[in-house]
Amino acid sequence: HMFTFLFDDIGVPADYRHMDGSGVNTYTLVNRAGKAHYVKFHWKPTCGVKSLLEEEAVTVGGTNHSHATKDLTDSIAAGNYPEWTFYIQTIDPDYEERFDFDPLDVTKTWPEDVVPLQPVGRLVLNRNIDNFFSENEQLAFCPGIIVPGVYYSDDKLLQTRIFSYSDTQRHRLGPNYLLLPANAPKCSHHNNHYDGLMNFMHRDEEVDYFPSRFDPAKHAPRYPIPSRTLNGRREKMVIEK
């Protein structure tokens, strides 16, 4: 589907404010009871989607190759804050065989008439960054870093990216890249990470092991993760349509 979008009229976005996006990989959402559902994430601009025709793209790109970045920066500076609505699509894994497509196939999108979009939030960009290097260049996105309630699926590409992205960030930013302000948790946290190349966190406590009577730190609350028992041989099969 990616190449279908690329060669369609929507293949060249007019700018970032009028561009939508969606996740390639399939994750799972897990409720308090431990029930998991496959999920796809989508961002859709509230101002609508606009694209450039091939001739327009040549003209605009030839005039300013950073036109989309300039448009985004100028809009935020003028108080015209771009906004996207956050949608999800969900599928119960217990019924995935009822569909005529594989929910874990990264080359396909889920048809919205079969699996409707559900609005769950929004994203508003209300300020430009102050330091391009520290707030942008040092960002380290990784599919393997998740929050409680979100978990992985058996998506083969996702399973590979969980490891490869972290290795990439360690090579690019160093082993302590998660200490950088752009990547560190915003809430209070406690771990046993010490020293190493490019470490800049000074820790004066003497206890570097867990558990310990000298350290009052406790385990973080446990959240349910989906469990699936596999027995026998698991393989990809042709889906009869």
Predicted local distance difference test score (pLDDT) of residue 171: 93
Residue 224 lies in a domain: no
Residue 231 lies in a domain: no
Predicted local distance difference test score (pLDDT) of residue 218: 78
Residue 110 lies in a domain: yes
Instruction: For residue 184, give the DSSP letter.
Output: S
Looking up residue 45, the CATH number of its domain turns out to be 2.40.180.10
Predicted local distance difference test score (pLDDT) of residue 198: 77
Residue 109 lies in a domain: yes
Q: Alpha-carbon distance 236 to 241, whole Å?
A: 15
Closest CA to 89 of 27, 6, 145, 1: 27
Structural domain boundaries enclosing 55: 2-128
Per-residue pLDDT band at 226 (split at 50, 70, 90): confident
Average pLDDT over residues 72-92: 97
Per-residue pLDDT band at 229 (split at 50, 70, 90): low
Structure confidence by residue, pLDDT tens digits, 204-221: 666 777 788 887 777 777
- pLDDT at residue 230 greater than cutoff 80: no
Residue 104 lies in a domain: yes
- pLDDT at residue 190 greater than cutoff 80: no
Residue 233 lies in a domain: no
Average pLDDT over residues 46-65: 90
Residue 123 lies in a domain: yes
Per-residue pLDDT band at 197 (split at 50, 70, 90): confident
Within 8 A by CB and 6+ apart from 206, the residues are 214
Residue 115 lies in a domain: yes
Asked whether the beta carbons of 240 and 102 are under 8 A apart, the reply is no
Number of domains the chain contains: 1
**H/E element, 40:** strand 36-45
Predicted local distance difference test score (pLDDT) of residue 232: 67
Instruction: For residue 193, give the DSSP letter.
Output: -
Backbone angles phi, psi at 158, to 5 degrees: -60, -45
